[in-house]
Chain A
Amino acid sequence: MKTLNPVFVIKVAIHLCALTPLLFNYYWSITDQNGADPVKAIIHFTGIGALNILLLTLLVSPSAKFFKLGWLMQTRRLIGLYCFFYACCHLLNFWWFELGFQVSLFIEELIKRPYIWLGMSGFVILFLLAITSPHSVRRKLGKNWQRLHYWIYPASILVWIHFYWSRKADISEPFLYLTVILILLALRKQKLKNWIRFR
């Protein structure tokens, strides 16, 4: 019997881990079983979920290096795309369920709220990374692909500020996240320095 390819196994696990809680949370929110405010619950779930997955994508290459598991890199694109997927859900939840799909109110909020600008700019970066993720596009972009995808680092900071700013007072959790982000960035200190210098 052929042994299962670890990349395949991990990919299946990623699909399950990403989709199961999302589907359950939507089910609970739709049927009003997600706390007293099912709208806030699903906005927060998808927001924090997108950020968690973003941090996970940043963990892939250090882990691959540290544990000498080169094949791990093949899972990174899928994880990154799930981050974008959660961010799409997050944005849609806000517009649909919080603002009732009112276009004018949505645009007003996008323009007026600094913490939303940051979320939006994070979202735009994720969008650009997602549409350039297919291998064919990657080949076409050549060296520019890596340049573009370095933008995930500023995105992590933008999203963090968005998260921090959306909180009323409880900032202990955002600061724990900041610590993790800074560690993940510090692991790539040299790469980041080069990027900033030669960009």
Chain B
Amino acid sequence: MKIIKSNRSQFKDHQITDEDIFNNKRDFLKKMGFVGAGSLITSPSHAGLFDWLKSDDTPPKKDPEPPKPLNFKALDKSGFELTPEQKVTHYNNFYEFGTSKQDPSEHAHNLTTNPWELTISGLVEQKITLNYEDLFKRFALEERVYRLRCVEAWSMVIPWVGFSLADLLKQAGVSSGAKYVSFKTLHRPSEMRGQSSRLIGGSIPYPYTEGLRIDEAMNPLAFLAVGLYGKSLPNQNGAPIRLVVPWKYGFKSIKSITEIKLSKIMPKTTWNLSAPNEYGFYANVNPDVDHPRWSQASERLITSGGLFDQQRIKTLPFNGYAEQVAHLYKDMDLRRHF
């Protein structure tokens, strides 16, 4: 079965970036007194005059835990131009830790992921509870390279490690009445600063919830990731376990999941609740249906490269995975069910 993305040709050779380059700049900023100073014209990592109002300068409660190496069936990645690991782990939308792209990498280490509990319940034959160790041991782990297309019109190419969502659902046993699967992110305001302050968390309703139709969830592309770049997930990428649905916009790929529930009715989903005219339940990547505020016809592929080395590519229907998933929607008006 062809699981990895179908249009390999558009990716050039694998490129790497040097972690030092990133750290260099921060050190420099610190020396210049720019970081956190809320200066007249600020650096993008502190992009606002008023950031000092929300920055909590309390020392981090915990040291970041280094990701651990995983045992998995590796993939030959020589044909892909991957997004460098440093960018994958330092440019995140995870509003539980703040709304800027740098917030998650700066604040997510406060989250305790071990012990963890993930329950699969609702319309299943038997309820399952997975603890932290189970997440890495219960299923054979494999590596998959997917392109993640954000609704904000950028994308990254990421080597995930994990297992099929279908494998887990089959183990629980899908009852005949089950039509939808809902997912819930951990709710722990003491460790997730965005949940304890509306100012930091962008005023979206927490806990974050997402959902799939059961046939979407059973599609072999739907993936539960426990790692990336061969190691367990950094917290900012949704540790210890997250969803990856590569044919849908990134916000469907919910992070740090504690609850999976099968149900008869369509679950409410976070972004749909906050802006129903902008974010639908389905959220399939679709170049023909624009976001009300920007075009979805093309996207900027984030690889490595500065201002003069940018790749703008055409967005593909279902993010290039149409062959595997288009049949799920064959009688639907995708303009209405966006």
Interface residues of A (CB under 8 A from B): 17-18, 21-22, 25-26, 28-42, 44-45, 48-49, 52-53, 56, 97-100, 105, 108-109, 112-115, 165-166, 168-173, 176-177, 180
Judge if B115 is at the interface, Cβ distance under 8 Å: no
Cα separation A197 to B204 with both chains bound (whole Å): 42
Minimum-distance CB pairs A-B, first 9: A36-B91, A170-B99, A36-B87, A169-B202, A41-B44, A32-B306, A176-B50, A170-B202, A30-B306
Q: Are B44 and A25 in contact (CB under 8 A)?
A: yes
Q: Which of B34, B42, B275 contacts A48 (CB 8 A)?
A: B42
22 contacts between A and B (CB under 8 A): A21-B43, A22-B41, A25-B44, A26-B307, A28-B25, A30-B306, A32-B304, A34-B25, A35-B91, A35-B101, A36-B86, A37-B101, A37-B300, A40-B154, A45-B42, A45-B43, A48-B47, A56-B40, A97-B307, A172-B198, A177-B49, A177-B50
Q: Are B90 and A172 in contact (CB under 8 A)?
A: no
Interface residues of B (CB under 8 A from A): 17, 21-22, 24-25, 34, 39-45, 47-51, 53-54, 86-88, 90-91, 95, 99-102, 152, 154, 198-199, 202-204, 274-275, 290, 293-295, 298, 300, 302, 304-310, 312
Task: Name the distance in Å between B302's Cβ and chain A's nearest Cβ.
Answer: 6
Instruction: Determine the chain A residues whose CB is within 8 A of the CB of B152 once the complex forms.
Output: 168
Secondary structure call for the A interface? helix
Q: Are B308 and A100 in contact (CB under 8 A)?
A: no
Task: Name the distance in Å between B148's Cβ and chain A's nearest Cβ.
Answer: 12
Contact A32 to B305, CB < 8 A, known contacts A169-B274, A177-B50: yes
Task: Name the distance in Å between B54's Cβ and chain A's nearest Cβ.
Answer: 7
Task: Name the distance in Å between B29's Cβ and chain A's nearest Cβ.
Answer: 9
Q: Which of B44, B87, B294 contacts A45 (CB 8 A)?
A: B44
Q: Are B300 and A98 in contact (CB under 8 A)?
A: yes
Q: Are A32 and B25 in contact (CB under 8 A)?
A: no
Cα separation A88 to B158 with both chains bound (whole Å): 35
